[in-house]
Amino acid sequence: MRSSAIDTVLAFMRAFREQDRAAAEALMHADFVFTSPQDDHLDRAAWLERCFPSADHFDTPGVTLQIVETDGIVLHRYEYVVHGKRHRNMEATRVVDGTVREVEVYFGGAV
């Protein structure tokens, strides 16, 4: 059985992929923070401006390889294609009260 935190993470990723800003905003905690190798602790407004519109960068939507909740964090490993090359990333997402509070993205290389 999946946890509600996992369902929240998957819904947030779906809102990004489908560019449904209203759905994404409804799933974001007021104190949302996003960190990746390219972005250092972006707040909600900065993420919505800089990252949210970038879904068209991907050739294919992300495909979940593994997802598990542990110690209040959802660990999500997924694969996607950019410019014809497959890549794998991992995200650690903290869900608080049904909203995404913090996302840390770890980029993998091309596979």
pLDDT tens sequence across 23-80: 999 999 999 999 999 999 999 999 999 999 998 888 888 899 999 999 889 999 999 9
pLDDT score recorded for residue 57: 86
For residues 89 and 80, the answer to whether their CB atoms sit within 8 Å is yes
The model's pTM: 0.91
